[in-house]
Structures are given as structure tokens and as C-alpha cells.
Amino acid sequence: MITAPGCRGCGVRAALAAPALVALALLAAALSSLLIASIGGTPWFQHYRKFLGDDLYVAYLVRSFRVAAWTTLVTIVVGYAIAYTMTQASATTRRLIVMLLVLQFFSISVTRIYSIILLLGNNGAVNRSLLALGVIDAPVRLIYNEFGVVIGLVNASLPFAVFPIFSVLERVPSSLREAAYTLGARRARSFWRIVFPLSVPGVAASVVIVFLYSLGAFATPLMLGGGFVDLISVFAYEQAINFSNYGFAAAGAIVSTVLGLALVYAFTVLIERRAET
Amino acid sequence: MQSSPLPRIGRTSRALALAGCLLLILPQVVVIITSIDPNPAAIFPPHDFSLVWYGNAITRPAFREALVMSVGVASVCALVATAIGTLAALLVVRHRFSGRNVLVAALQLPMLVPEVLLGLGFLILFSRIGLRLSLVNIVVAHVVITMPFAVRVVIANLQTVSPSLEEAAQVLGASPAASFLRVTLPVIRTGIVSALIFSFIVSFDNFTVTAFLVTGRGTLPIEIYAYIRTESDPTIAAISTMMIGVSVVGIFVIDRLLGIERLSRTQAAH
């Protein structure tokens, strides 16, 4: 590009960067089209006003954040338990769990969600087994409600929680735990006072990833919500595809993303403050 | 809590871990069992054995065309994204320049933007510029989505290779191009192959962005979703089982190349 004297290697650098910059320019073009569509129309910001001024639409927002919060809570607790088990398990068990999580990570999301329908649906394996055992008289509704969406999202996001938490737990020097034991701390106390504080960075990272992932998830609420749990992503899809209402769809998706990022930012600042004190 | 803290904590967390693992494994087990149930209503557990749904999955033209489309899109996307990613990785690992950190952060950006925003953004962009080529649009969007994965994998690999190898080759008289082709490329081969596999999988799996851009025939995930909406027989269970098989083979290949345990650690590094 620029081959001025004194800029040796500039041409090489430009050539290496050019393809990636084209891809990033496409990303920027897509995101700015989205922003412009959401703001545009007459009068300006009408889509945002319509979205935020109607309880029906705000309900999508509330539902999305509620589902994302539950998903994050359950995923972190269960993910922590799995990661903790991994630190104490035999090499074989640990490898097996890693394989299971990696398989989960690499499985095709649509078929993974379908498998959950087969497991938890009204005619699914769980309901059939409970009916056969006489535990229940009629199928229990486990999916096509918020519970089902949360279960599906937990299933999808467990790898995002286990791996970061496992890696910080693994770095906790066992001498610290032993020292606590020697000093007479009970296991629960030594966990909450020593192990857990040291694992906070891993937990915080997982919270951010899982929360943002479940807030933006689309296939899971679409398939496991069954039309009863319309989250913001499903709203955006329906507005855009069924009604060609691009601006309105964009406004809803942007409001949700910005709110989500603001929450995550506040959470990160809070964690860092606590780490400093 | 105070009276017997040791076993209770241990039991509860072990029970939680077990529940989590069951949540991961039970759907896979049930889908495999359901795939051999000849009953179209698929009432668990099956009382008979049949491969009829495998036959249906394989012979159905819609699925075959969707598979061809998915493999085509994912292959093109993997090649392009890995090429872009390798060049960008070489730039940020081997060169020092102002704005380098900004570029490294920007290269990860597509991974951080929610997919619905990407899908909707590309839909609006393509409709504004009047580009109505479903397949091209999907490939372009997939390249942007998968590029961060390719960049990250190649950067991680490149960082383990000392630049002195290339310098040595150049001191010995190799041109920069030759030293790249004969020295650098072979040593980062693992990274490039991993980047190809990663971006292929990310593209092959993609549902959200594709759903926004697809018109007419769709990729495999789109056609699977369409089938689930209208039919209730276990054809998709057969497809899912075959997919699990492919994933298991793929994981063994990646394990051989990279080591799964190492993968779980690099995962944690970001």
C-alpha cells in the first residue's frame, strides 16, 4: 500500500491485514445497517419508542433477562460442581467428562435440542419412565415453558462454565488447602474462605459468557419454548422474517444487547472492586 | 451445616455434578435409542428394532441436498476463514506496529456480537444493497463469524514457534517467501488444520445467522428444523445419531492433533 522509504515491511503488513480488514469492514457494515435501520423511519427513534412504550414488547425483554439469569445461576452452580469433581477425580474420569463436554460443544445445536425434546417432551423418555413406574398419572410438562428453555440453555452452556472454572481450580495450590486443614478449618470453611475466593476470576468469566450467550440464544427458545416462551431473539426473527419489520426487530435486539452488556459491565466492575479490597 | 459440614457438602456437590453430566449424556442416549424405533410416534422405550428412519434420512432428497449445501458452505467458509485467519495471525504475532492490540481485539469482535444481531444486520445490509443470492450471503456471513476462531487457533499455534527458525532459514539464503513456505507453514500445519476443522464445524452447525439469510432451500440445520416442525417421526433421531458418530470421530482426530486436555486448558485461557 504505502512503500515510502523507511517503511520496510509495510507492504507485507498491508497484504497480511487486508483480507481480515475486509471481513471486519463487512461486520461494521452489517452492524451499522442494523443501527441505522433501528433509528431510521419517521419520526426518528419511533421503533425504540414503540418497543419500550408497550408492555407487550417489554415483556419479551423481562422474559429474556429472567431466563438468562436462571440459566446463568444453574449453569454456574452445576458447572462448578462438575469442575470441582474433575479436580478430585481419577485421570480416566476427568478425561471422560472432558470428552463429554467437548462432544457437547461440537454437537450440532439443532439435533442437540431435538434430543432434549425426546428426553423431556410429554411423550419423552422421562415422562414415559415416570408413568411406567407409577410415579405420575399424567405427563408432566417439562418443555414448552420457561423451565424447558432454561434446561436447554444449561445443557448448551455447561462447557462455557466448566472449562474456565476447572482451569482456575486446578491452579489453586493444594498446599493452601492443606495449610487450612492443618490450622483446623473444616472442609466447608476452607472451601468458602480459601478455594472459592481464588476461583472467583474463573466464575466471573463464566458468568459473563453464559449470561450473554443465553441472552442472545435463538434456536433453544425457538424449539423448546414451543411458541409459549418468546424471547427477544425470537421476537426479532419473527418481526424481521414474517413482517419484514427490520427497524423494529433491530430496535428490540439492540435494546436487549445494550442492557445485557451494561449489566455485564456493572458486574465486572463490582467483581474488580471486591478483588481490590 | 455446622454439625456435619464435610460429608454434606461433598454429597451435594457430587449429586449436582452427576445431575449435570446426566443432563449432558441422557439426551444423546435417548436419541440413539429412539433412532431404531420403527414406531413413527416414537414412544419410549422402543419395542422393536428397525433402521427404517436411517433409510428415510439418507434417501430423502431434501436432506441430501441440504447436506451437500452445508458441506459446501462449510468447506468454502473454512478455507477462506483459515486463509484470512492465518495471514492475520502472522501479522499480529510476527510484527510489531502501532494499533496492533486494537487489531487483535477487533479480530475477536464477531465472536462477541450476539448472533441475532449479526444475522439481522447482514439481512438488512444485503437487502439494502440488493444482494439476493442466498448462498453467497450465507457464505459471506459465515466467514465473518468463523474468522475469530481461525485467528485464535493459528495465533495460539504460532506463538509456540520461535521466529528464529524463519530467520535462520533467511540467513542461510532462503527468500522470505521460501522460508515461509518451507519452514513456517510446515511448523504451523497443526494450527492450520485445527483452524480448518474449527471453522468448518462452526459454519456447519450455524443455525441462527443462516435462518435470517436463507431463502428457498436451506442448510442441514435449517432443513432439520423444518422437518421437526411438520413431522414427528424419528428420522431426525437417525440423523442426530449419525451426527454424534461424526462428532466422536472428529473429536478423536482433534485429540490426536491437539490433545483434548490441552484444548480444555486453552479454552480456559480466554
Instruction: Tell the burial category of A36 from Cβ atoms under 10 Å away from its Cβ (0-12, 13-18, 19+).
Output: middle
Task: Find the length of chain B.
Answer: 270
**Would the CB atoms of B264 and A101 count as touching at under 8 Å?**
yes
DSSP-H helix ranges across A89-218: 91-106, 109-120, 125-132, 146-171, 174-182, 187-190, 196-216
Residue at B140: amino acid letter:
V
Q: What is the pLDDT of residue B15?
A: 92
Q: How many whole angstroms separate alpha carbon B32 and alpha carbon B241?
A: 5
Chain B residues whose CB is inside 8 A of the A188 CB are: 1, 5-6, 9
Residues 5-64 on A with a CB inside 8 Å of B are 9, 12-13, 15-17, 19-20, 23-24, 26-27, 29-31, 33-34, 37
Split at pLDDT 50, 70, 90, the class of A8 is low
Domain boundaries, chain A: 7-39, 43-276
A181 has a pLDDT exceeding 80: no
Q: What is the pLDDT of residue B262?
A: 60
If we measure between CA atoms, which residue out of A168, A84, A71 comes closest to residue B12?
A84
Averaged confidence pLDDT in chain A: 89
Question: Nearest Cβ partner of A187 from B5, B263, B265?
Answer: B5
Chain A nearest CA to B240, separation (Å): 5
Residues 221-260 on A with a CB inside 8 Å of B are 222-223, 232-233, 236-237, 240-241, 246, 249-250, 253-254, 257
Which residue does chain A place closest to B108, by CA atoms? A24
Q: Percent of chain A at pLDDT above 90? A: 66
Chain B nearest CA to A113, separation (Å): 9
Q: How many whole angstroms separate alpha carbon A230 and alpha carbon A222?
A: 7
Q: What is the pLDDT of residue B4?
A: 28
Which residue does chain B place closest to A165, by CA atoms? B268
Q: How many whole angstroms separate alpha carbon A267 and alpha carbon A204?
A: 8
| Fold of domain A43-276 | MetI-like fold (1.10.3720)
Chain A residues whose CB is inside 8 A of the B30 CB are: 115, 118-119, 124-125
- Matching residue, cell 410415579: A135
Q: What is the pLDDT of residue A6?
A: 53
CA distances from A140 to A126, A147, A229, B41, B173 (A): 9, 12, 17, 18, 74
Cα dihedral across residues A239, A241, A246, A252: positive or negative: positive
Q: What is the pLDDT of residue B247?
A: 87
**pLDDT tens per residue, range A66-82:** 999 999 999 999 999 99
A243 has a pLDDT exceeding 50: yes
- Give the pLDDT of chain B (270 residues) as one tens digit per residue: 333 222 345 788 889 999 999 999 999 999 999 999 998 887 888 888 999 999 999 999 999 999 999 999 999 999 999 999 999 999 998 888 888 889 989 999 888 899 999 999 999 999 999 887 889 999 999 999 999 999 999 998 888 877 787 778 878 888 877 877 888 888 888 889 889 988 999 999 999 999 999 998 899 999 999 999 998 899 999 999 999 998 888 888 877 776 666 655 544 333
Mean pLDDT is lowest, of A36-45, A149-158, A260-269, for A36-45
Q: How many whole angstroms separate alpha carbon B219 and alpha carbon B66?
A: 5
Q: What is the pLDDT of residue A184?
A: 67
C-alpha cell at B151: 485467528
A182 has a pLDDT exceeding 80: no
Q: How many whole angstroms separate alpha carbon B183 and alpha carbon B177?
A: 10
ipTM of the complex: 0.89
Q: What is the pLDDT of residue B3?
A: 31
Chain B residues whose CB is inside 8 A of the A158 CB are: 20, 23-24
Q: What is the pLDDT of residue B263?
A: 55
Q: Which domains does chain B possess?
A: 52-269 (1.10.3720.10)
Residues with Cβ < 8 Å from B257, sequence gap 6 or more?
Answer: B190, B193, B194
Q: What is the pLDDT of residue A218?
A: 95
Q: What is the pLDDT of residue A260?
A: 95
Q: Does B216 reach chain A within 8 Å, measured CB to CB? A: no
Question: Nearest Cβ partner of B24 from A95, A100, A202?
Answer: A100
Report the alpha-carbon angle A37-A41-A47, nearest 5.
Answer: 70
- Matching residue, cell 454456574: A76
C-alpha cell at A238: 419473527
DSSP A107: S
Q: Does A149 reach chain B within 8 Å, measured CB to CB? A: no
Split at pLDDT 50, 70, 90, the class of A3 is very low
CA atoms within 13 A on the CB side of B39: 11
Instruction: Tell the burial category of B187 from Cβ atoms under 10 Å away from its Cβ (0-12, 13-18, 19+).
Output: middle
Chain B nearest CA to A276, separation (Å): 22
Chain B nearest CA to A13, separation (Å): 6
Contact B139, B73 (CB under 8 A): yes
State pTM to two decimals: 0.89
A143 has a pLDDT exceeding 60: yes
Chain B residues whose CB is inside 8 A of the A192 CB are: none
If we measure between CA atoms, which residue out of A150, A275, A264, A137 comes closest to residue A207?
A264
Q: Does A171 reach chain B within 8 Å, measured CB to CB? A: no
Question: Nearest Cβ partner of B116 from A37, A129, A253?
Answer: A253
- Matching residue, cell 476470576: A201
- Mean pLDDT, rounded, for A41-61: 91
